[in-house]
Structures are given as structure tokens and as C-alpha cells.
């Protein structure tokens, strides 16, 4: 996203009522995030080759993205030419500093 990008009018999206007053615009639509997440899963599968994938999720903030990414990896694993083992683990961090 370029710095001069103005985003999308929030009226183009279904915004929950409790967020309506807090938002001015939408910069990255959910569909674009999902598309980029799928592309990231494809890149991971290509880069890892036939190596075992160890997926580590930092809890609280990253679980939704992590789940979406793993869903795409799982789909590629099931429908692709090759299947690689995937291990999933979770960590909880008290402070990012």
C-alpha cells in the first residue's frame, strides 16, 4: 500500500455497529488479506519443498491469521502433487519488548 493511498469508503463494507464511530476508512479489505494469505501458503509450500513444516503461532494476536494460513497449507497439501508433514505449536508471550 502506497503512502498516498486513501483506502476505501467504510460504507462499502459491513462494519459492526460498535466499530462504526471508530473507523473512517478501510485500507485493506478482508478478501485481499485472504488472497495474500493464500499466496503466502503457496510460497511456503514451494520454498519448503518436501521438508517438514513446523508452524508456530504466537497466541492472542496471531491466531486468526495463523488458522487461515494453515487452512490454505492443508488444502495445498491435500490437493497438490506432494504432501509434507506439518507440526503445529503455540506460544504465549508476555511482552514483545
Say what the pLDDT of residue 62 is. Answer: 84
Say what the pLDDT of residue 54 is. Answer: 94
Task: Report yes or no: 37 and 69 within 8 Å, Cβ to Cβ.
Answer: yes
Mean pLDDT per 10-residue interval, the chain, length 97 residues = 80 89 88 93 90 90 90 90 88 75
Residue 71: φ, ψ to 5°: -60, -45
Say what the pLDDT of residue 37 is. Answer: 94
Class of domain 8-92: alpha beta
Say what the pLDDT of residue 73 is. Answer: 93
Count Cβ atoms below 10 Å from residue 57 Cβ, excluding itself.
19
11: three-class secondary structure by DSSP: helix
Say what the pLDDT of residue 1 is. Answer: 65
Say what the pLDDT of residue 82 is. Answer: 77
- Domain edges within the chain: 8-92
What does 19-61 look like in DSSP terms, one character per residue?
HHTT-SEESS-HHHHHHHHHHHHHHHHHHHTTSPEEEEEETTT
Amino acid at each position: 500500500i502506497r503512502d498516498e493511498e486513501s483506502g476505501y469508503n467504510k460504507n462499502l463494507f459491513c462494519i459492526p455497529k460498535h466499530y462504526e464511530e471508530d473507523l473512517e476508512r478501510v485500507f485493506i479489505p478482508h478478501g485481499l488479506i485472504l488472497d495474500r494469505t493464500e499466496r503466502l501458503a503457496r510460497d511456503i509450500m514451494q520454498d519448503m519443498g518436501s521438508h517438514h513444516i513446523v508452524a508456530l503461532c504466537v497466541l492472542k494476536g496471531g491466531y486468526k491469521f495463523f488458522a487461515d494460513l494453515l487452512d490454505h497449507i492443508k488444502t495445498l497439501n491435500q490437493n497438490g502433487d506432494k504432501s509434507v508433514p506439518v507440526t503445529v505449536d503455540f506460544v504465549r508471550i508476555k511482552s514483545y519488548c
